């Protein structure tokens, strides 16, 4: 822990400590897509047949966070990770044109990698892009190999093969091959190049498209889990007692002829639950191999001990839990991500942190490690103290919000028209909501007038099946969480904080 103390002293003050000038760390941010924590073997909730030896090895060399709430869906999560703001604070970001077309004003919504560039870092982004047609090359990124989905909607479904790729702002060309392997190869090339030119530290945001639908595994991994057994979640079918009204209509799974769950219509391609889950997990195997190849190269090039490695996903993904076959909903099964942070010799190794953290917490943490002053108010909280001592008390809550496809001041008023209020399609659409995780409890407020609230004890009820908000003995706690949520909305400058739809009062 001595190295960590020295590094933090320098990062906090900008002053050299000791005889040698400290070297600012590289930062490798590995970001997967629709990737549940349940797919990683080192998480106790993973199926017993899951194999992720390289991600598990990363966890053994670092800190694994049990509860990470990075975001609610792909674009919103990325907008937060580029700005340090909750989606309701990302001004000017908006959907425009054919989905996933989108745009933003970099003057109103600057991305923080630009600040790293201005402070001596070489910045790079490789892989999926989902936040505006302007990918920021030359402004935010020194190096970029990008699959720009908003710019090429006709190619936006090609998650695994035949992607339109733009390199360093040049001509966009169709690239063959399996995307996960391509992204890994390009990341390895960048890391090798930086090893040959070590005059500057580097930041790499590696954005895998896997394991987003259609959940296509590499050919070498087809049928790898064909014999795996998948239990049926308890509330895969309605009714769901204690849940809000919209949850009684979520039916993305129906009983097939053999009595087993199958996707309802186009949901999960109408496939049986078991085979869909098997294929989804097969798509993780190439990511795991990529992590192994990258960590091996960092070690071979003597960059391992000076590189902060963060592995996470934009959000999780449900497989039958609460009736879903997607993300969006406020439950752990739909949005909880894996999060592993590693830097041998600097932070502890092989430790599990049970404290809940959020995606916006990563950005100030990156700035702290780089020794760069925050350029604007961030909504998250620096995780350094937890990385220093994962068992310590961390006096912060985690707020998560779903505001559909709206951002910035467009979220100041909660819409009432279903087109803007709900996200997704029947039978699995989800309205706007906010949640607050504090300690072992999670509070959820569905932003529909007169709707019930939800409160869960995740220690006793990890599946979120018993809504304590409906029990009078928890009325006092419920009111405290309601108040704390509004306080957190105010702290993060949410315009909606004073305009929330009224909740259904059960106890007076």
- Asked if the structure places residue 12 within a domain, the reply is no
Question: Which residue range is the domain that position 449 belongs to?
Answer: 400-498
- Asked if the structure places residue 275 within a domain, the reply is no
- Asked if the structure places residue 419 within a domain, the reply is yes
- Asked if the structure places residue 291 within a domain, the reply is no
- Asked if the structure places residue 138 within a domain, the reply is no
- Asked if the structure places residue 410 within a domain, the reply is yes
Residue 14 has pLDDT above 70, yes or no: no
Phi-psi region of 21 (alpha: psi -120 to 50; beta: other; left: phi over 0): beta
Which spans in 199-272 are helix H? none
Q: Where are the beta strands (DSSP E) in 184-287?
A: 202-207, 253-255, 261-263
Pair type for strands 163-167 and 94-95: unpaired
Summarize pLDDT for 81-110 with one digit per residue, the tens: 999 999 999 999 999 999 999 999 999 999
Instruction: Identify the band that residue 22 occupies on the pLDDT scale cut at 50, 70 and 90.
Output: low
Query: Which tokens hold the place of 416?
Result: 């009432």
pTM over 0.85: yes
Structural domain count, the chain: 1
C-beta neighbour count of 80 within 10 angstroms: 30
- Asked if the structure places residue 470 within a domain, the reply is yes
Summarize pLDDT for 385-430 with one digit per residue, the tens: 999 999 999 999 999 999 999 999 999 999 999 999 999 999 999 9
Strand (E) or helix (H) holding 478? helix 475-491
CATH of the domain at 487: 3.30.1120.10
- Residue carrying the six token digits 């957190």: 488
Which spans in 72-212 are helix H? 74-83, 113-118, 179-196
Summarize pLDDT for 46-83 with one digit per residue, the tens: 999 999 999 999 999 999 999 999 999 999 999 999 99
Summarize pLDDT for 115-170 with one digit per residue, the tens: 999 999 999 999 999 999 999 999 999 999 999 999 999 999 999 999 999 999 99
Instruction: Identify the band that residue 23 occupies on the pLDDT scale cut at 50, 70 and 90.
Output: confident
Q: What is the mean pLDDT of residues 311-333?
A: 97
3-state helix, strand, coil in the chain (%, to 5): 30, 20, 45
- Asked if the structure places residue 51 within a domain, the reply is no
C-beta neighbour count of 229 within 10 angstroms: 11
Q: What is the mean pLDDT of residues 359-365?
A: 98
Q: How far is CA 388 from the centre of its chain?
A: 22
Q: What is the mean pLDDT of residues 185-210?
A: 97
Query: Which tokens hold the place of 51?
Result: 């194999």
């Amino acid at each position: 822990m001595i190295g960590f103390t020295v590094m933090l002293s320098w990062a906090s003050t900008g002053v050299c400590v000791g005889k040698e000038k400290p070297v600012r760390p590289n930062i490798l941010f590995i970001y997967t897509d629709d990737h549940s924590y349940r797919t990683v073997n080192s998480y106790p909730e993973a199926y017993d047949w899951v194999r992720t030896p390289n991600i598990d090895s990363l966890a053994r060399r670092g800190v694994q966070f049990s509860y990470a709430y990075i975001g609610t869906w792909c674009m919103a999560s990325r907008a937060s990770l580029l700005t340090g703001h909750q989606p309701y604070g990302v001004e000017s970001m908006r959907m425009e044109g054919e989905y996933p077309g989108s745009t933003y004003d970099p003057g109103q919504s600057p991305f923080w990698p630009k600040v790293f560039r201005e402070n001596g870092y070489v910045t790079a982004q490789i892989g999926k892009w989902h936040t505006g047609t302007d990918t920021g090359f030359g402004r935010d990124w020194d190096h970029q190999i990008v699959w720009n989905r908003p710019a090429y909607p006709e190619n936006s479904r090609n998650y695994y093969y035949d992607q339109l790729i733009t390199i360093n702002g040049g001509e966009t060309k169709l690239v063959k091959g399996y995307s996960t392997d391509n992204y890994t190869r390009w990341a390895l090339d960048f890391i090798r190049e930086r090893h040959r030119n070590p005059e500057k530290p580097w930041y790499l945001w590696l954005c895998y498209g896997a394991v987003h639908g259609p959940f296509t595994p590499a050919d070498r991994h087809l049928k790898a889990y064909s014999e795996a057994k998948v239990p049926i979640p308890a509330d895969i079918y309605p009714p769901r007692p204690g849940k809000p009204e919209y949850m009684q209509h979520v039916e993305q799974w129906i009983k097939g002829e053999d009595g087993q769950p199958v996707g309802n219509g186009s949901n999960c391609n109408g496939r049986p639950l078991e085979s869909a889950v098997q294929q989804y997990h097969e798509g993780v195997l190439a990511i795991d191999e990529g992590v192994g190849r990258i960590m091996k190269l960092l070690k071979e090039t003597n960059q391992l001990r000076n590189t902060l490695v963060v592995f996470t996903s934009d959000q999780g993904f449900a497989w039958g839990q609460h009736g879903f076959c997607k993300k969006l909903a406020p439950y752990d099964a739909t949005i909880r991500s894996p999060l592993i942070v590693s830097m041998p010799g600097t932070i502890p190794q092989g430790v599990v942190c049970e404290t809940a953290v959020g995606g916006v917490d990563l950005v100030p943490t990156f700035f702290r490690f780089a020794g760069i002053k925050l350029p604007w108010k961030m909504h998250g909280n620096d995780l350094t103290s937890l990385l220093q001592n994962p068992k310590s008390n961390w006096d912060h809550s985690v707020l998560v919000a779903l505001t559909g496809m709206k951002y910035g001041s467009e979220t100041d008023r909660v819409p009432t028209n279903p087109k803007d209020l709900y996200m997704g399609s029947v039978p699995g659409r989800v309205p706007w909501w906010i949640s607050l995780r504090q300690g072992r409890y999670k509070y959820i407020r569905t932003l529909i007038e007169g709707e019930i609230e939800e409160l869960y004890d995740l220690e006793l009820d990890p599946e979120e099946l018993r809504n304590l908000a409906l029990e009078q003995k928890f009325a006092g706690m419920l009111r405290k969480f309601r108040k704390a949520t509004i306080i957190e909305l105010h702290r993060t400058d949410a315009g909606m904080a004073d305009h929330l739809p009224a909740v259904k009062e059960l106890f007076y």
